[in-house]
A = this chain, B = another copy of it.
Amino acid sequence: MMSVYHTKINIKSTGENDIIDITDDIQDCINKSTLINGICCVYVPGSTGTISTIEYEPGLQYDVPKMLDNIAPKNQKYKHHETWHDDNGRSHCKATLMGPGITIPFQNNTLIYGTWQQIVFIELDTSPRKRSIIIQIIGE
């Protein structure tokens, strides 16, 4: 019998480029849903963060932010700053590029991912933030 299970993961980021492993939290949500097979939509309601997967080790936690800084550099003028006298134009640009979330399959109560792959939230904003990640599970 198919149904929808809705919940949230509440996290605090330490600031720009904080990459937080939420793989086990998402698995906990699947456990609580009691759904066996389906998909899990992991989604940030906000325009300065993103969800992706990564091999969660310290080297890539340096390399990925460096790549993102090449794409939308810190030391560059953004028109966004003129709108709000804000400082996070680069954060918005990176978030639009990467998208607000991903959808992950699960089977036999178990989230599917590779041995060297974790699901992460990436803080793109310029200061620490509290984040509620939406978890929408569809399955049977």
When distances are taken between beta carbons in the complex, the residues of chain B under 8 Å from A39 are: 4, 41, 103, 136, 138
Which one of A10-18, A25-33, A105-113 is at the B interface?
A105-113
**Which residues 57-111 of A sit at the B interface, judged by CB distance below 8 A?**
57-60, 62-64, 67-68, 70-72, 78-84, 89, 92-93, 95-105, 107
Task: Out of B47, B59, B79, B107, name the residue touching A89 (CB < 8 Å).
Answer: B59
A116 neighbours in B (Cβ, 8 Å): 46-47
Tell yes or no: A126 within 8 A of B by CB: no
Determine the distance from Cα of A136 to Cα of B103 in the docked complex, in whole angstroms: 10
* A71 vs B64: C-alpha distance when bound (angstroms): 11
Say which residue of B37, B59, B138 sits within 8 Å of A38 (CB atoms). B138
A37 touching B4 by the CB < 8 A rule? Answer: yes
Copies in the complex: 3
Asked if A46 meets B117 with Cβ closer than 8 Å, knowing A4-B2, A57-B83, A138-B38, the reply is: yes
Q: Which residues of B contact A72 (CB under 8 A)?
A: 67
Nearest 5 CB-CB pairings of A with B: A105-B136, A59-B79, A59-B80, A46-B114, A59-B83
Interface residues of A (CB under 8 A from B): 2-4, 6, 37-39, 41, 43-47, 52-55, 57-60, 62-64, 67-68, 70-72, 78-84, 89, 92-93, 95-105, 107, 112-114, 116-117, 134, 136, 138-140
